[in-house]
Amino acid sequence: MKNLYKTALVAMILLSAPAMADKTGVSFEHKDWELACDNTLTCRAAGYAKEEGEGGSVLLSRDAGPDIAPTGEVILADTDADKAAPVTKLTLWINGRAVGDLASVKDEAWQLSASQTQAVIRAVKGSAKVEFRGGAAPFILSGEGASAVMLKMDEVQGRIGTPGALTKKGDKPESSVLPAVPAPVIQAASVSKSPTRPLTAAEIALFKPKMRVTLKGNDYCDRQQPSDERKDDAEDDRLSVTPLDDSHVLVSALCWRAAYNEGYGYWVTDTKLSEPPVLVTDSGSGYDKGVITLAQKGRGIGDCWSSASWVWDGKAFRQSHIATTGMCRYIRGGGTWDLPTLVTEVKAAQ
């Protein structure tokens, strides 16, 4: 159950996105390993210890294209960082044999060398014991789920049967590997500097029926549906409007509220609120300078998050990013990794 949040939230992000969203990548997880491949075919596989809160996590990253080797990083759990002494050296051990120290890099991460990365990959596909020693206690990396995740990575990147495959190697030429896909380019448009204001009662009466028509299928906006239980809840009627340009405005309203998250709906319509509104998302967290953002906790302690963003291009909001921070494993406050499934190149407004 502890990892179902990610599947649900990513699905929510995708299903709430408008039709103009660019094609997204692949998410997959099995036991103690997970995979996120973005729309450029860059893949990132994260592995964890068997038990939540222990050790840390390993990230194997690989760009698309022939003759590209995977790289490896390690992050140690810091949930008790105030009590623990700083880690000054981290050493990889496989089956009780030291395989060298890791290089310390920014953000308290540790970099595996090319040979260490390959050694870890070989080890977790089998039954070898992989440890990282140097912290308060050894980080023992689980191999459960690793083979399935690496096979999926090879499949997404078209590497199965090639010499560079992580799992099913073969003699197919490296030239058969899928090339990297360029990230879509979004040209952001300038937006109005006029302030946000609340809708008047008359405007709400005009807009709400049109807004409700946009809520179909998996869209979830119960706070804006008629309900006797909430008829006296004034917050549900606090709709706001923000000018985007001379022709378009952005209307926002509280859609739902849960134990540790809430989601706002965002709709684009004309300045007179007369045209049918277009729903951007029913789970947004904020809007600023032409960008709608989403940031939702996987659980109350905030060790795992899902995020997304949409950029105004002058005609519509285009989805520019989708990511999670990995499994809820009690490793880092704010999340462990950045695992995107949608990336874009956003060009600043002129």
Which domain covers residue 256, as residue numbers? 185-347
Condensed to tens digits (0 to 9), the pLDDT of residues 134-166 reads 998 999 999 999 999 999 999 999 999 999 999
| 270 close to 250: Cβ distance less than 8 angstroms | no
Collapse the DSSP code of 137 into the 3-class scheme (helix H, G, I; strand E, B; otherwise coil) and give the result. Answer: coil
DSSP secondary structure string for all residues of 181-250: PPPPEEE------PPPEEPPHHHHHHHHHHHHHT--TT---GGGS--GGGTT-GGGG--EEEE-SSSEEE
313 neighbors 188 (Cβ within 8 angstroms): yes
Confidence class for position 10, pLDDT limits 50, 70, 90: very low
User: Tokens 């028509």 map to which residue?
Assistant: 213
- Same structural domain for residues 221 and 275? yes
d(CA 273, CA 178): 46
Give the integer Cα–Cα distance in Å for 209 and 344.
34
- Domain membership of residue 32 (yes or no) is yes
Interval 61-72 mean pLDDT = 98
What number is the average pLDDT over the span 60-73?
A: 98
Q: Are residues 165 and 255 in the same domain?
A: no
Does the pLDDT at position 18 exceed 90?
no
Lowest mean pLDDT among 32-41, 80-89, 129-138: 80-89
Per-residue pLDDT at 19 exceeds 50: no
Q: Which of 139-143, 161-165, 222-226, 339-343 is predicted with the least confidence, judged by mean pLDDT?
A: 222-226
What pLDDT score does 53 carry?
81
pLDDT higher than 70, residue 4:
no
How confident is the model over 31-59, as pLDDT tens digits? 999 999 999 999 999 999 999 888 999 99
pLDDT digits (tens, 9 = 90+) for 104-117: 998 889 999 999 99
Q: Which helix (H) or strand (E) holds 82?
A: none
Total domain count, the chain: 2
The answer to whether the CB of 344 falls within 8 A of the CB of 185 is: yes
Q: Which of the pair, 169 or 23, is modelled with greater confidence?
A: 169
Q: Got the DSSP string for 299-320?
A: STT-S-EEEEEEEE-SSSEEEE
Choosing from 136, 156, 176, the residue where a domain stops is 176
Q: Is the pLDDT of residue 281 over 60?
A: yes
**Residue 5 covered by a domain:** no
pLDDT averaged over every residue in the chain: 91
The C-alpha atoms of residue 222 and residue 38 are separated, in whole angstroms, by: 32
Indicate if 157 and 221 belong to the same structural domain.
no
Mean pLDDT value across residues 243-272: 97
Q: Are residues 172 and 315 in the same domain?
A: no
Which of 152, 176, 200 is a domain's end point? 176
